[in-house]
Homo-oligomer: A and B are copies of this chain.
C-alpha cells in the first residue's frame, strides 16, 4: 500500500479508501489507485485489516463428524451461503466430544471469528459453553441439535416429529413390533426416541424396553446393534433407525441373518444421505434437507453478524419429509406378489 501511495504521490490513506470504494474519493483517483494496485499485484492483508476493524470475515464451524455425509452436506450449504459475502469457514471436528468442542470453540474465539455455527456435542443440560458465547457477544447459530433449555439461534429439524413420522410409516406398512436403534443421548437422539415412543403409544402398540438398542451414529455400529435386536424373540418386524448410516448397517445385519428387508423386517432411517438409494436394499428415510439447514444457518448468522446490536434468538425448523424406498415397502410388495 505504501508503494502504491508513493508511486502515485498520494497518501496511504487515500489508497486505503480508494481500494475499498470508499465514497469520498474522486472517481479519477480511485481508478488510478486501483489500476496501479493491479499492476503491482497488490493484495490487501486481511490479518492487518482484521486487527484494525475487528472483523475477520472468518466463521467457525464445529461439527461432530465430517465423515457423516449429513454434515458434509450441511457444510456445503453453509459454504455456499457464506462465500458470496466474502466469509470463509474454519471447520473443526469435535469427534462428538463435548470437551474437544469447548476447546475448539475457544480457539476459534482467540482467532476472532466473526461468528460460529455449531452442531453441538454438549450433553443435554450443559449450557456453559453457550453462556460464554452469549456473554462475549459472539454471534452463533446452533444447528441440528438443540440442547434443551438454551435460548439461542437454532436451525434444524423437529426430531420428535421425525421419529413419529418414521414410526408411523412403519405402522402403516403393517408392522406390529417396531424396534428402534437409537442414537446417543444428544437432543437429536433423544427427540427421535421420544417421537418413536409417542407414536407407538398413540397407535396402541407396545414399546418393550429391549426393543430400543443404542446404535451410535457411525457406519459400523448399526450392524452390531441390529444383531442384538435379532437375538430377541419375538423378532421385531420393523425398525426405525436413528440415522441412515445406522440403518445401512442394520440392513446388512438383517440380510446376513438370512431374513428379508422389508418383508421380514422393514427399516426406515433418517437423513437421506446421498448413498441411501444405492444400498443393498434402497433405504426409506426421512429427508431433513441438510443443504437447506446449512444455508439457512449461514444466512441467519450473517444477519446476526451484520446487525448493530444484539439480536433476539430465532429458531427455524426446516421441514422434513418421508422418502419411501424398498426397505419399508411391504404393502406394495404384498400386492405385487
Q: Which residues of A come within 8 Å of B, CB atoms?
A: 43-48, 50-51, 56, 58, 66-67, 69, 72-73, 75-76, 79, 88-93, 106-112, 219, 245, 248-249, 251-252, 274-275, 277-280
Shortest Cβ distance from A107 into B: residue: B88
Residues A112 and B67 in contact in the complex (CB < 8 Å), given A51-B51, A91-B89, A278-B249? no
| Residue of B47, B252, B274 touching A56 (CB-CB under 8 A) | B47
Shortest Cβ distance from A244 into B: residue: B275
Across the interface, do B50 and A47 meet the contact criterion of CB distance under 8 Å? Answer: yes
Q: How many copies does the complex hold?
A: 2
In whole angstroms, how far apart are the Cα atoms of A92 and B83 in the complex? 9
Determine how close the nearest CB of chain B comes to the CB of A323; give it in whole angstroms.
15
Determine how close the nearest CB of chain B comes to the CB of A67; give it in whole angstroms.
5
| Residue of B45, B92, B112 touching A45 (CB-CB under 8 A) | B112
| Residue of B46, B47, B50, B73 touching A67 (CB-CB under 8 A) | B73
In whole angstroms, how far apart are the Cα atoms of A249 and B249 in the complex? 20
| Residue of B45, B66, B110 touching A72 (CB-CB under 8 A) | B66
In whole angstroms, how far apart are the Cα atoms of A277 and B92 in the complex? 27
Measured between beta carbons, the chain B residues less than 8 angstroms from A72 are: 66-67, 69, 72
Across the interface, do B88 and A89 meet the contact criterion of CB distance under 8 Å? Answer: no
Residues A110 and B44 in contact in the complex (CB < 8 Å), given A67-B76, A91-B91, A278-B280? yes
Determine how close the nearest CB of chain B comes to the CB of A141; give it in whole angstroms.
18
In whole angstroms, how far apart are the Cα atoms of A90 and B75 in the complex? 12
Across the interface, do A110 and B278 meet the contact criterion of CB distance under 8 Å? Answer: no
